[in-house]
Structure 1
């Protein structure tokens, strides 16, 4: 550990330690998805479309906390790359339904395999800490900034 950091006591602060861990995990995730030309938000979008075939763009924006105009550009890119198909929603002709293409499914499967390796690196770094307990604790921490 860096001497200045040790003297400062920052390494004993939960928020600082979480930020350091988050930065390391995020960097590893970005590097893991880079060979697939996917950013984490794009990977998450593909996962949501796969699990909710026919979902609307707004549903994804809401789920991921992405501003709608940013999601439109993201979806446009995925359509151009033939990873998802966008069609007029039969139930609401003002919106679009999204589904993965066959190419999108294959691309997502390959990225998911790499992501599993990434998750393995995280699990190894955590050692014997219970995975589900950590997820629950982090989920609760994420609610700190949420209005009550």
Structure 2
């Protein structure tokens, strides 16, 4: 809806209402720099005729979404650190090779080929590391998540075993 008509009462779609309320809450929290308590959330839901059960369900869905966001952030941090290590190795080894080529042959020749081909691999690795959308990213995330969950499960089992054994 672009303009308000003075004669008729405007109506909004559910999506419009969500966007307007989201903006209004964002403006209010910026002005007052405060957080909302759970009681306030319940009051808002009651005013919007949202049942406490639906609010609990929505809160659970939100918590699941927040957990996934945190997992994705951890995955992205892991990939970035892995890339930094690879780039560091690339830089050190190629720096030494360039120096050996420069000192040994009076110029740069064979070391440039190594730098070029290895640099191509590093460029592709950077592309994959910092690309956070698409099917390949989702597959890599799911694989990392499964391994991460497996490690956590294994650690819990080992800790339980060690605690039981110490007792």
Q: TM-score scaled by structure 2?
A: 0.24
Q: When you count strand as a share of all residues, which structure comes out higher?
A: 1
